[in-house]
């Protein structure tokens, strides 16, 4: 069984660890975690998931089959410097750092198998929409292992590295957009006298139902919308307001801004 070391112990690292241990895809004895300074978080992960903390001599890094880079982008270069000398030549790198390219990682950690992954925070409940790409040094066997790891936290799509920018904007940041929509849905409902609790449950069920309808894949979103929108009815009145307020333009601007920021972050570390 592969030995995995997480460099970075934040929310995404915990979500992946939770998925791996819950699905019993990797034994906690083979999962090691390290981070820059948050001892309390390391202890939390050790107590919650029975994983191992990387000790000062970094022996776990030397023996790692896979190293998962899960630090914040601003901490990446410093972290690379801290771990580079400990990695063996066969270690595969999996990076969940937004914006930092495979080439940049290779520049700091050497020529080796490297995969980049863009998951989202729904990994915490096993429902991440993850995208992955890799360099030519990742073997077919390793590709299957990486996908196997990612399936512990949700669905996986293999994409070209260039596409990760828009994937970051769409799926990586997507939960935040939906949470924002939920906030406004609840606030609007409260304005008309509905309790926040009732509004939230209605929103959740409505989104789950709509997601399942989309997941069937046999009807386009535009057609599903038309089926709900009766001429002269309440839905039509609501959709007309979305059109008048140019919500479509706001969505385009949202995705454009997020993917542009991903590119800026990437160039920052080249």
pLDDT digits (tens, 9 = 90+) for 145-193: 999 999 989 999 999 999 999 999 999 999 999 999 999 999 999 999 9
Q: What whole-number distance in Å separates Cα of residue 262 and Cα of residue 57? A: 34
Report pLDDT digits (tens) over 89-129: 889 999 999 889 999 999 999 999 999 999 998 988 889 99
Asked whether 95 and 31 are in contact (CB, 8 A), the reply is no
Q: Is the pLDDT of residue 36 over 80?
A: yes
**Residue 23: pLDDT band with limits 50, 70, 90:** confident
With bands split at pLDDT 50, 70 and 90, how would you rate the model's confidence at 86? very high
**CATH 1.10.3720.10 given to domain 172-265:** no
Residue 130 pLDDT greater than 70, yes or no = yes
**Pick from 104, 60, 103, 108: which is nearest to 84 by CA?**
108
| Same topology between domain 4-165 and domain 172-265 | no
pLDDT of 270 > 80? The answer is no
Q: pLDDT band at residue 25, thresholds of 50, 70 and 90?
A: confident
pLDDT value of position 22: 87
Please report, for the chain, the start and end positions of each structural domain, with discontinuous segments joined by +.
4-165, 172-265
Q: Which fold has domain 4-165?
A: Rossmann fold (3.40.50)
Q: What is the pLDDT of residues 48-61, one digit of tens each?
A: 999 999 988 899 99
Rounded to an integer, the average pLDDT of 203-229 is: 96
The answer to whether residue 219 scores a pLDDT higher than 70 is yes
Question: Which residues 6+ apart lie within 8 Å of 153 measured at CB?
Answer: 15, 16, 18, 19, 119, 123, 126, 127, 128, 130
Q: Judge whether 146 and 94 are in contact, CB under 8 Å.
A: yes
Q: What is the pTM of this model?
A: 0.87
Mean pLDDT of the chain: 94
The stretch 54-78 carries a mean pLDDT of 92
Beta bridge partners of 127: none
The predicted-structure confidence for 222-266, as pLDDT tens digits, reads as follows 999 999 999 999 999 999 999 999 999 999 999 999 999 988 888
What percent of the chain has a predicted confidence (pLDDT) above 90?
A: 82
Rounded to whole angstroms, how far apart are CA atoms 172 and 131?
A: 9
pLDDT at 37: 78
First to last CA, the chain: 34
Work out the average pLDDT over 36-41.
86
Does residue 1 register a pLDDT over 70?
Answer: no
């Amino acid at each position: 069984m592969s030995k995995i070391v997480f460099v970075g112990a934040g929310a995404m690292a915990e979500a992946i660890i939770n998925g791996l241990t819950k699905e019993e895809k990797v034994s906690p004895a083979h999962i090691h975690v390290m981070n820059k300074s948050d001892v309390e978080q390391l202890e939390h992960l050790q107590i919650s998931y029975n994983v191992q903390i990387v000790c000062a001599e970094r022996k776990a890094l030397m023996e790692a089959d896979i190293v998962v880079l899960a630090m914040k982008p601003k901490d990446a270069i410093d972290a690379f410097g801290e771990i580079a000398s400990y990695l063996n030549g066969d270690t595969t790198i999996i990076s969940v750092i937004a914006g930092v390219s495979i080439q940049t990682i290779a520049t700091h950690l050497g020529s080796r198998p490297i995969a980049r992954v863009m998951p989202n925070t729904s990994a915490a409940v096993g429902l991440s929409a993850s995208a992955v790409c890799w360099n030519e040094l990742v073997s077919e066997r390793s590709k299957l292992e990486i996908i196997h790891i990612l399936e512990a936290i949700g669905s996986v799509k293999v994409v070209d590295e260039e596409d990760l920018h828009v994937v970051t904007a769409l799926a990586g940041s997507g939960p935040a957009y939906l949470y924002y929509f939920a906030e406004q849905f609840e606030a609007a409902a409260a304005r008309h006298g509905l309790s926040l609790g009732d509004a939230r449950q209605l929103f959740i069920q409505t989104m789950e139902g709509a997601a399942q309808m989309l997941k069937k894949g046999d009807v386009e979103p535009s057609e599903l919308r038309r089926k709900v929108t009766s001429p002269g009815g309440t839905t039509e009145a609501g959709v007309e307001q979305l059109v008048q307020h140019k919500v479509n333009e706001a969505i385009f601007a949202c995705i454009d801004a997020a993917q542009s920021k991903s590119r800026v972050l990437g160039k920052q570390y080249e």
